[in-house]
Amino acid sequence: MLNTIIHLRVREGLELLKRGLDEEPYLTYLGAGIFITGGCSLLNGIDHLAEEIFEIPAHLAHAQTTWGVTSAVEDPQFSTAIGLVRFAQVMQTDRPRRGFRETIGKLFRMR
């Protein structure tokens, strides 16, 4: 009974997502299909359900090995957070770096 409830809720969530994407022509740009990541990707059969609903290939994705202890970050439930950290890191490389003194001076400046 619990499996049925979970299946129906996941189906409902994916159908709502598809409805939102159908309003815009986004699905036509997904040539490689859908990549499912995060803790929800651990649900058995979610890739098949997504393929059924979106009618395009669905793949389970996980974070690529990063630095340090890999067993903790290779768990799919951390992939979204790791992706956000990597994105922020890329965005920070585009900004000019300030010197140490400027940064410290700004932190302790009187307001």
- Domain-wise residue ranges, the chain: 2-107
Q: How many contiguous H segments (helices) and E segments (strands) does the chain have?
A: 5, 2
pLDDT score for 13:
95
pLDDT confidence band for 12 (50 / 70 / 90): very high
50-109 residue pLDDT tens: 999 999 999 887 666 555 555 556 677 777 777 778 778 777 766 656 665 666 566 565
Encode 3-33: b = buried (16+ Cβ within 10 Å), e = exposed. eeeeeeebeeebeeeeeeeeeeeeeeeeeee
- Please say whether the structural domain 2-107 has been given the CATH code 3.30.420: yes
pLDDT in tens, 34-64: 888 888 888 999 999 999 999 999 988 766 6
